[in-house]
Amino acid sequence: MADIASLGDLRGKRVLVRSDLNVPLDGTTITDDGRIRASVPTISELSGAGARVVVCAHLGRPKGAPEERYSLRPVVGRLSELLGRDVVFATDTVGESAQAAVAGMADGDVVLLENLRFNAGETAKTDEDRAEFADALAGLADAYVSDGFGVVHRKQASVYDVATRLPSAMGGLVRAEVEVLRRLTEDPERPYAVVLGGAKVADKLAVIDNLMGTADRLLIGGGMLFTFLAAQGHEIGKSLFDADSVDACRGYLERAEREGVEIVLPVDVVVGKEFSADTETAVVDADSIPADAMGLDIGPRSAALYAEKVADARTVFWNGPMGAFEMAPFAAGTKALAQALVDATSAGALTVVGGGDSAAAVRQLGFTDDQFGHISTGGGASLEYLEGKELPGIAILTKGTN
C-alpha cells in the first residue's frame, strides 16, 4: 500500500487528509484529545514538506445537515496548539468558505473543513449518492491521504470514494494501526490473551468467533459477561443481559472447551441496586448475584485473576472496559486490568488497547499512552479487522487509482 512518499514532491500541492478528530466534548470543551494528538504527525509531515494541507473529519452523528453541537470549531484551537501553527477553519465542507480558504493557502498552510457529516453525501449508502460530494471534496485537492483509522471500516465519501478520484496514499497513523493489527492476526507471539468488555455482547460475537482460532485465552468482562453467566445457568439479577445471545455464548463456551481455548469469566462481581455512583455496593460471587441487584464491575478476586492471566502473555489485545468505569465505585476492575497491561508491556509483551471506551478509560484513570504498546484510535475498525472483515478504506488504497 502506497505511503506518503509515493506521492512525490508535495510542495505547493493541495493534499486532502482524512483525519479522525471525533473527540468527546463537554459542551465545547474537549475531554480527551487523544485522536487529535494521533492525527498531528501526518499533518505535520505534509505541512513540513510544503503541501497545502486540507484536513477533513467528522464529529458525532449529525443527520446530513449542520448542527452546532457537532461543529468541529472546538477542535481548531487544540489542533493549532499541537501543530504549532495557526489552522484556518472553513465553516462549511465544500462550499464558499471551504473554497475560499483553500484558494488562500500558501505552502505549508493547514485548513480544517467543517464536519463532513453536515453533508448527506458523506454517509449515503450508494456510490451514486456519494458521488457529488466526493467529486466536490476531490476538487479541493491534488492528492489524498487516508489517516483516519477510526473510519476506515466505513464506505463513505471521504474514506472510500475520494481515493478513487485522486492519487492516494496511507498516512502514518493508519499504517501503524494496520501493522499492529497484522501482528495480532498473523502469527502472534504466544501466549496470546484477548480481553473483551463493554456493554453489548452482540457487538463482540463475530470477534469471539474469529479469535477462537487465534487466541489462547479470552477474558470476558463488562456488561457482556452477564450473558455468559446466564448461559452457564447462573442468576444475574437486574444485570445487563442479551437474551438473543445466550445460545451463542453457550456455544462458544462449549467450543472453547473442545478446542483448548481458555475462556475466563469473573469469579466475583461488584453489584449495586441501581446504575448510580451513589448506590449501595457489595462484592458477591459471580454465581450468586442477588435477584434485586445488578453487576457493575468485576470484583477484586476477578481483577487479580485477570491480571494473572495477562502476566505471562506475550501478546494482549483489550477492547472494552471491565465495568462502569465512569463511576468511581465501579472503576477498580478496569484500572486493575490497565495496570496489568502496563506491567505486561514492561515485561516485553505487545499490548494493544483497542480504541473507543478502552482508550478513554485508561486516560481517565490516570494512565498515559506510552505505558502501552499501542492505543488504537478506532475501536470499531479494530474489531472489524479482528473479525476478518475487509475494511473499505484500506482495501481501496490497494485498488485505487494511484
Is position 59 annotated in a ligand binding site?
Answer: yes
Is position 295 annotated in a ligand binding site?
Answer: yes
- The answer to whether 161 touches 128, Cβ cutoff 8 Å, is no
Amino acid at 56: C
CA distances in angstroms from 315 to 185, 198, 214, 309, 358, listed in the order given? 11, 20, 11, 12, 17
CA distance 392 to 117: 18
Is position 20 annotated in a ligand binding site?
Answer: yes
Question: Residue 10's closest CA among 44, 39, 52?
Answer: 52
Given 13, 35, 335, 363, the catalytic residue: 35
Is position 35 annotated in a ligand binding site?
Answer: yes
**Residue 385 neighbours by CB distance under 10 Å:** 27
Is position 355 annotated in a ligand binding site?
Answer: yes
* Ranges assigned E (strand) in 321-361: 350-353
Element housing 130 (H / E): helix 127-138
| SS3 label, residue 240 | coil
Is position 204 annotated in a ligand binding site?
Answer: yes
- Strand 25-26 and strand 374-375: the pairing is unpaired
**Residue 290 neighbours by CB distance under 10 Å:** 13
CA distances in angstroms from 172 to 17, 18, 169, listed in the order given? 11, 12, 10
Is position 117 annotated in a ligand binding site?
Answer: yes
Given 34, 171, 356, 400, the catalytic residue: 356
Is position 125 annotated in a ligand binding site?
Answer: no
Given 73, 85, 183, 200, the catalytic residue: 200
- The answer to whether 340 touches 351, Cβ cutoff 8 Å, is no
79: left (phi over 0), alpha (psi -120 to 50) or beta: alpha
Is position 358 annotated in a ligand binding site?
Answer: yes
| SS3 label, residue 78 | helix
Given 77, 108, 139, 380, the catalytic residue: 380
Is position 61 annotated in a ligand binding site?
Answer: yes
Is position 326 annotated in a ligand binding site?
Answer: yes
Question: Residue 295's closest CA among 283, 313, 307?
Answer: 283
CA distance 13 to 54: 10
- Determine whether 222 is an active site residue: no
Give burial (CB, 10 Å; 0-12/13-18/19+) of 211.
Answer: buried
- Determine whether 198 is an active site residue: no
Per the omega criterion (within 30 degrees of 0), is the bond before 191 cis? yes
- Determine whether 380 is an active site residue: yes
- Determine whether 77 is an active site residue: no
Q: Which residues are annotated as a binding site?
A: 20-22, 35, 58-61, 117, 154, 204, 295, 326, 355-358
- Please report, in range form, the residues annotated as the binding site for substrate: 20-22, 35, 58-61, 117, 154
Binding site members for ATP: 204, 295, 326, 355-358
Q: Would you please indicate which residues are annotated as catalytic (active-site) residues?
A: 35, 200, 356, 380
